[in-house]
A and B are shown apart, each in its own frame.
Chain A
């Protein structure tokens, strides 16, 4: 993010702001202050009226503001969910105090997306105080989600291309992440963490006819929809961080230090396996946490450190149609390099919740693999509840690795959905072109209306 000069942060562009409906409101109606012509006009000034969304914006936007006030963006509840699970109630106050220095800067108000750049990057009006309906992603979304999402999506990690959704379709964040999700509305209303509750957005929203059995894509027919998340095959190396520590200087300036970070891609067992996320394997990422991350604020603040995995469910934003995983069956089957095996986890973290993530046995190449390509794979070899057969070595379990983490009975993926209930023969030629990737044979999707303007798409630089 280029720094914004101080004067730009408070300069109102008449041309941009005059047509905005908000310009019909008196400045003091939102910002308070004094109705005088002097510097004392700033007495009692409210710099960010939307700091309290309900009082700042709720009068005119009662259908959004109360939800936004309780959204993850506003409350940062996701941090608490993750930290409290590793801690005990007696430590919550200390952790919350720590958060005021090191986490709360990421708190996003309405204005942090729709009027100005977020405080975490120094602020600065987006368009001369004009309100921006669709926040420009470079100035708002990736201003905060910069170190991972931005680098992945834009292709800023050396040697790794940007996400296909950007390269080919120029999709902005808001093209997939809806306003409801951002504002904590609808299915996102009760989420306590980014990966809590309903899976949003979903690849199926755009690619419904290209996923799983019936898609006509051989690899999708074989793997179904409940073994692997889409990212397991279609994302590439992403950033993993370890040993983040936070502290403050004597002048009370907060800082953090991440001792180690590296690019890598690892498939682990899904720690969030449920009906909503039924996948057996997903990409997992090491999050920047350490038992001593917050030791500057107190001793043993995370006594239950491994109650939550340090290798967590990940949805990298560097989706590619072709990845190392899609090159061949053996790119994954029998390839220990791609799975999070115990040797890739530091010894002190080979316990607790990480045991639900570490892959003990890498799925080998199935003995009957050839049958998949001739279309004669016999579903009978795969145990089905209808047949009442018990799993046998060399069939489903040996193909995918022993499943030690089956979801509850009502959430168990049916073998029918995996093998295909109709036993239909997969199409022989299954190399989807870019056209088929985007569906319906359209050569390339038109950029959204909002994306057509470089300014609105990238944000004014």
Chain B
């Protein structure tokens, strides 16, 4: 009798889990979109020689495909510390002024 009772409990719990999984799959996805990590890796620039942003090739613009969510393109690079360190160019500021300013 005890064995029957345990089997019955197992079947009920299993059924609940199946129903729960089915409902979850129908619910809208409210999670924040994840950043495209693959794209980050593809665009990763090994920091050898710094590349000036202003000197970037702009001719390739025609080949670029407009994105549905432009933020992704911006954030893919600008949230990536490694990419930023590789691209950023340190400016040497010449200080000629004298006295408290």
Known contacts: A26-B70, A27-B71, A34-B61. The answer to whether A39 contacts B53 by CB under 8 A is yes
Bound CA–CA A11/B84 (angstroms): 6
Bound CA–CA A334/B89 (angstroms): 61
- Interface pair B53/A257, CB less than 8 Å apart: no
Choose one: B70, B76, B101; the contact of A147 (CB below 8 Å). Answer: B101
Interface of A, helix, strand, loop or mixed by DSSP: mixed
- Cβ contacts under 8 Å, A6 to chain B: 88-91
Whether A449 sits at the interface, judged by CB under 8 Å, is no
Whether B64 sits at the interface, judged by CB under 8 Å, is yes
- Interface pair B84/A10, CB less than 8 Å apart: yes
How many chain-B residues does the 8 Å CB contact rule pick out?
A: 39
Whether A187 sits at the interface, judged by CB under 8 Å, is no
- Cβ contacts under 8 Å, A10 to chain B: 78, 84, 88
- Interface pair B67/A36, CB less than 8 Å apart: yes
- Cβ contacts under 8 Å, A151 to chain B: 100
- Interface pair B66/A35, CB less than 8 Å apart: yes
- Interface pair A244/B58, CB less than 8 Å apart: no
Whether B25 sits at the interface, judged by CB under 8 Å, is no
- Interface pair B75/A12, CB less than 8 Å apart: yes
- Interface pair A255/B96, CB less than 8 Å apart: yes
Residue of A34, A38, A122, A261 ringed by the most chain B CB atoms within 10 A: A38
- Cβ contacts under 8 Å, B71 to chain A: 26-28
Whether B20 sits at the interface, judged by CB under 8 Å, is no
Known contacts: A11-B78, A261-B99. The answer to whether A36 contacts B88 by CB under 8 A is no
Chain B 67-85, CB within 8 Å of chain A: the 1/0 string?
1011101111011010011
Known contacts: A27-B71, A37-B73, A147-B101. The answer to whether A5 contacts B57 by CB under 8 A is no
- Cβ contacts under 8 Å, A34 to chain B: 61, 64
- Cβ contacts under 8 Å, A225 to chain B: none
Choose one: B53, B65, B69, B88; the contact of A5 (CB below 8 Å). Answer: B88
Query: Total contacts A to B, CB within 8 angstroms?
Result: 110
Name the interface residues of A1-39: CB closer than 8 Å to any CB of B: 5-14, 18, 26-28, 31, 33-39
Known contacts: A27-B70, A38-B60. The answer to whether A258 contacts B89 by CB under 8 A is no
- Interface pair B61/A259, CB less than 8 Å apart: no
Name the interface residues of A73-127: CB closer than 8 Å to any CB of B: 122
Whether A440 sits at the interface, judged by CB under 8 Å, is no
Whether A387 sits at the interface, judged by CB under 8 Å, is no
Whether A193 sits at the interface, judged by CB under 8 Å, is no
Name the interface residues of A143-161: CB closer than 8 Å to any CB of B: 146-148, 151
Question: Distance in Å from the Cβ of B90 to the closest Cβ of chain A?
Answer: 5
Bound CA–CA A288/B79 (angstroms): 44
Question: Distance in Å from the Cβ of A111 to the closest Cβ of chain B?
Answer: 16
Choose one: B60, B75, B78, B93; the contact of A40 (CB below 8 Å). Answer: B60
Choose one: A11, A28, A39, A147; the contact of B56 (CB below 8 Å). Answer: A39
Whether A63 sits at the interface, judged by CB under 8 Å, is no
Chain A 221-263, CB within 8 Å of chain B: the 1/0 string?
0000000000000000001010010000100010111110100
- 8 closest pairs, A vs B, by CB? A258-B99, A39-B56, A147-B100, A36-B64, A255-B96, A7-B88, A6-B88, A35-B70
Residues on B lying within 8 angstroms of A by beta carbon are 32, 39, 43, 53, 56-58, 60-61, 64-67, 69-71, 73-76, 78-79, 81, 84-85, 87-91, 93-101
Given A35-B73, A255-B95, list of 7 further CB < 8 A pairs? A7-B85, A8-B84, A14-B75, A27-B75, A151-B100, A256-B101, A261-B99
- Interchain residue pairs with CB less than 8 A apart (14): A5-B88, A12-B75, A14-B75, A34-B61, A36-B61, A36-B67, A37-B76, A43-B61, A122-B93, A253-B94, A255-B95, A255-B97, A256-B99, A257-B97
